[in-house]
Amino acid sequence: MTLRTLVFEALGSSCELFAVDADEGRLAEAAAWVRQMHQRLTRFDPTSELSRFNARPGEWIAITPELEALLREALAAYDRSGGLVHAGLLTRMLAIGYTRTFAEGPTITSAPGPARVPPLPDLLQVRSGEARLAPGHGIDLGGIAKGWLADRLVERLGQNALANLGGDLSARGAGPEADGWPVGFGAKTVLLTDVGVATSGTSRRRWGEGLHHLIDPRSGLPAVTDLIEVSVIARTGVEAEVLAKTALLLGSSGAPDFLRAAAIGWWLG
């Protein structure tokens, strides 16, 4: 078996593709697709499909199948997480200064007052080929998009592949040695087959006093949690992302019971 690898930058992260017995052209096409999807889904470019959707609240807007799938995934994530994974937090992210890519830096250093964010189904409606956003709100797909893209990538790469998009990954097949794909998980390496893995944490993308990018929809402010990082193994990359973020917001008191009922494996840090 021949293992092909490709490392590239996209989605504001270092990304890696691995595929057994796939030609280099397939990996290059997959990387190009990720970059194309990034241009369509980023909130930092006013010309992206997501930004143009956010700019026209109150109207039914025609959307591509990919954006429709992701908006539906966001609604499913809201349900799965009991409302904690909320894609409608863009205005709160802007309010705490996360107005541009983190490499460019935040624009303020103090947080606004708390404000509970309305339920996502009250803000976002999706039907075939169209979606509508409530005025005064915006969508940021964040980690949901990374997990979803990783799942789609391994489908594109073949029967034996792994896609890692900045820590959101999806593994398919038996790996290069036919015993699973080796992946770092907490303090150890695990061998994975046909699952997804995601890590959510608050130690990166921090600024000011207690400000970070993980917003708790119950307060509309950066989450206050006694967990610094959570890693989860689940059936898919996007499910792992949702479970990891939910567990982080629940904290050490609520995360184990939640993950015991939903995850294949987890690590709390």
Q: Output the tens digit of pLDDT for each of the chain's 269 residues.
A: 799 999 999 988 899 999 999 888 999 999 999 999 999 999 999 999 999 999 999 999 999 999 999 999 999 999 999 999 999 999 998 888 887 877 777 777 666 888 899 999 999 999 999 999 999 999 999 899 999 999 999 999 999 999 999 999 999 999 999 999 999 998 899 999 999 999 998 867 666 666 777 899 999 988 899 999 999 999 999 999 999 999 999 999 999 999 999 999 999 99
- Work out the burial of residue 118: count CB atoms within 10 Å of its CB; fewer than 13 is exposed, 13-18 middle, 19 or more buried: middle
For residues 139-154, b (16+ Cβ closer than 10 Å) or e, as one string? bbbbbbbbbbbbbbbb
Number of domain units in the chain = 1
Q: CB-side exposure of 41: number of CA atoms within 13 Å? A: 27
Q: What letter would DSSP give residue 100?
A: S
Domain extent, residue 167, equals 3-268
**Looking at the whole model, is its pTM more than 0.75?**
yes
Pairwise CA distance, residues 34 & 44, whole Å: 16
Residue in 107, 36, 119, 44 with CA at minimum distance from that of residue 77: 119
Q: What is the CATH number of the domain that holds 55?
A: 3.10.520.10
Rounded-to-integer distance, Cα 219 and Cα 117, Å: 7
Structure tokens at 163: 């896609």
